[in-house]
Amino acid sequence: MAMQQEWADKDYYGDLGVSSSASAADIKKAYRKLARENHPDSNPGDKKAEEKFKRVAEAYDVIGDEQKRKEYDQLKSMISSGGFGRFGRGGGSGFPGGFRGTEAEFDLSDIFGSAAGGQAGDSGLGDIFGGFFGGRGGAGRNARPSRGADVETEITLDFREAAKGTTIPVELTGEAPCTTCHGSGSKDGKTHTCQTCSGSGFIRENSGAFGMARPCTNCGGTGEIIEDPCTTCGGTGTVRRTRSITVRIPAGVIDGQKVRLAGQGEAGPNGTPAGDLFVTVHVRGDEVFTRSGDDLEVTVPVAFSEVALGATITVPTLDSPVKVKVPAGTPNGRTLRVKGRGIPKRSGAGDLMVTVEVKVPKDLDPSATSALRAYAQAEKDSGFDPRAGWAGL
């Protein structure tokens, strides 16, 4: 993707003190002035000036370049419009005010999945918004993140567990809700509405063609100021600890699949939504079953007499065994289909594919031997020639 993820939490126009509709000449002028004022040579030892100088240079590198500026504007407008994916709950432009809500509806893969090759949960997807709200620089510099971090883990399942779906306990170490303050970060529950953003958590900037919203730095995007911070968590609402959660793995996961569990990642500060948990599932092989898509495959040993005369055989499934009728004259290696006994799906299930494999006895007792000799003669007499019509002759 051409757009750079780190741009999401930057405010390059703000850094240069120009509006987003400023002309290229104005941007250049603003950059020159600020670069001169904050140049390290004229401000020896001044860390603040140095930082400002770097930020100004970075900003100019992007919005001073016509192509990069276009891409940056696109990314910003996409974020501020909120008109895609589940972000659009509030409709219209700007962020919906509900980021403090309990709905962990931030399915980033819905938004940027295609651009990132559909790999939900790849690192970086979360960074776009995590970074924007979290603010590593630029506008959100002083803001606290408004969503918990995503967490990745791996589990290994038996073939049958993976096929049928299972629940499995997983131990995770990370930010979890503080039990003292129940995640609010407040000792007595008392908060007052942030004056800077009037409780919305966002500062709207109407500049040029775009209405931009950025997280309020006064309250960290929460819209509220805690009066008496909880001493256990220092007012963040979260503490680092190991927790055990039960993860539900849907039926039919395949080896290497990544399962996303919304809201099961690290707790967000001050009761903000938790991040997501991404579980990479490894699946062990099975002694009896293999699978092909949604079909479950099994090979069943049979006697020659069973396939020649026809028989009903008992075949294992993921649940209780089923009886399968093998018609008389079934050739070795024939596959019989049992509908609906394969891998369970949301609606219905795949099929069970039963392949018969004729077993030849190594030793026969005298009565079986004499019976088989009699059979061989009868077979010959009947005119059966196994190599009749065979191309090898």
Residue 18 or 197 having the CB closest to Zn ion:
197
Asked if residues 57 and 45 have their Cβ atoms less than 8 Å apart, the reply is no
How many Cβ atoms from other residues are within 10 Å of residue 273's Cβ? 22
Query: What's at 387, amino acid-wise?
Result: R
Shortest spacing between CB 183 and Zn ion, in angstroms: 7
Shortest spacing between CB 214 and Zn ion, in angstroms: 11
CA distance 235 to 233: 5
With contacts defined by CB under 5 A, name the span among 14-22, 40-48, 150-158, 174-182 that binds Zn ion: 174-182
Q: How far is CA 144 from the centre of its chain?
A: 24
Shortest spacing between CB 128 and Zn ion, in angstroms: 22
Q: Is 287 annotated as a binding residue?
A: no
Binder to Zn ion among 43, 218, 299, 317 (CB under 5 A)?
Answer: 218
Query: In the structure encoding, which two tokens stand for residue 259, read together?
Result: 């399962």
Query: What's at 35, amino acid-wise?
Result: A
Secondary structure class of 129 (helix, strand, coil): helix
Among 298, 288, 296, CA closest to 340: 296
267 touching Zn ion, by CB under 5 A: no
Number of residues near Zn ion (by CB under 5 A) = 12
197 touching Zn ion, by CB under 5 A: yes
Binder to Zn ion among 108, 178, 247, 253 (CB under 5 A)?
Answer: 178
In what helix (H) or strand (E) does residue 173 lie, and over which residues does it extend?
Answer: strand 166-177
Query: What's at 272, amino acid-wise?
Result: T
Q: How many residues does the chain have?
A: 393
In what helix (H) or strand (E) does residue 160 lie, and over which residues does it extend?
Answer: helix 159-164
In what helix (H) or strand (E) does residue 372 lie, and over which residues does it extend?
Answer: helix 366-382
Asked if residues 352 and 296 have their Cβ atoms less than 8 Å apart, the reply is yes
Query: In the structure encoding, which two tokens stand for residue 182, read together?
Result: 């129940």
Q: Is 219 annotated as a binding residue?
A: yes
Asked if residues 187 and 181 have their Cβ atoms less than 8 Å apart, the reply is yes
Shortest spacing between CB 180 and Zn ion, in angstroms: 4
Among 129, 109, 114, CA closest to 278: 109
180-to-100, 101, 236, 242, 266 alpha-carbon distances in Å: 19, 20, 12, 16, 17
Shortest spacing between CB 204 and Zn ion, in angstroms: 12
CA distance 86 to 129: 13
Q: Is 194 annotated as a binding residue?
A: yes
Residue 218 or 257 having the CB closest to Zn ion:
218
Shortest spacing between CB 194 and Zn ion, in angstroms: 3
Query: What's at 324, amino acid-wise?
Result: V
196 touching Zn ion, by CB under 5 A: yes
CA distance 390 to 393: 6
181 touching Zn ion, by CB under 5 A: yes
Q: Is 22 annotated as a binding residue?
A: no
216 touching Zn ion, by CB under 5 A: yes
194 touching Zn ion, by CB under 5 A: yes
Residue 223 or 275 having the CB closest to Zn ion:
223
Residue 155 or 267 having the CB closest to Zn ion:
267
With contacts defined by CB under 5 A, name the span among 65-73, 135-143, 224-232, 279-287 that binds Zn ion: 224-232
Binder to Zn ion among 180, 299, 317, 355 (CB under 5 A)?
Answer: 180
Binder to Zn ion among 59, 230, 313, 354 (CB under 5 A)?
Answer: 230
With contacts defined by CB under 5 A, name the span among 19-27, 81-89, 121-129, 214-222 that binds Zn ion: 214-222
Q: Is 296 annotated as a binding residue?
A: no
Query: Binders of Zn ion among 231-260, rule CB under 5 A?
Result: 232-233
Q: Is 171 annotated as a binding residue?
A: no
219 touching Zn ion, by CB under 5 A: yes
Note the residues at the interface with Zn ion (CB under 5 A). Answer: 178, 180-181, 194, 196-197, 216, 218-219, 230, 232-233
**Annotated binding residues for Zn(2+):** 178, 181, 194, 197, 216, 219, 230, 233
